[in-house]
A = this chain, B = another copy of it.
Amino acid sequence: MKIKNLPSYKNLEIVPNNHSDRNYEINISIPEFNCVCPKTGLPDFAIIKINYIPNKNIVELKSLKLYMVQYRNVGIFHEFVTNQILDDFKKACKPKKITVIGDFHPRGGIKTVVKANWPEID
């Protein structure tokens, strides 16, 4: 399944990590995520959660918001957009560890939550 008009990871700006000598966690939650259902063309709503241990760089939060807004008109399944954000975040800031969770609003009485990790779970 091909997905069109995906945002580029290059839109994620990075800032040098002042405390790169220590492993610590950053948890980010974006409760206003929007994309489009590829079957009906109607908007889907989700909370995206990103938890990572930074390496040399951290992701600047304003650029992260603007990257997320670019999904507003992208037609993509719940399962795939969660993995796509993981891939882009990895390319942008090369974290030591990362988890991305897509927690979607119910549709037709069914709710889905997708959770992807790198390094991946066993």
Contacts and interface: CB of A to CB of B under 8 A. Distances in A.
Interface in A62-77: 62, 64-65, 69, 72, 77
Contacts of A114: 24-27
A40 B1 CA distance: 28
A106 B120 CA distance: 29
In which size bucket is the chain A interface? 35 or more
A61 interface: yes
A12 interface: no
A17 interface: yes
Question: Which of A28, A31, A61, A80 gathers the greatest number of chain B CB atoms within 10 Å?
Answer: A61
Interface string A1-44: 10000000000000111110011111111111010000100110
Contact of A28 (B25, B29, B80, B111): B111
B107 A61 contact: yes
Q: 4 closest pairs, A vs B, by CB?
A: A24-B116, A27-B113, A19-B83, A25-B115
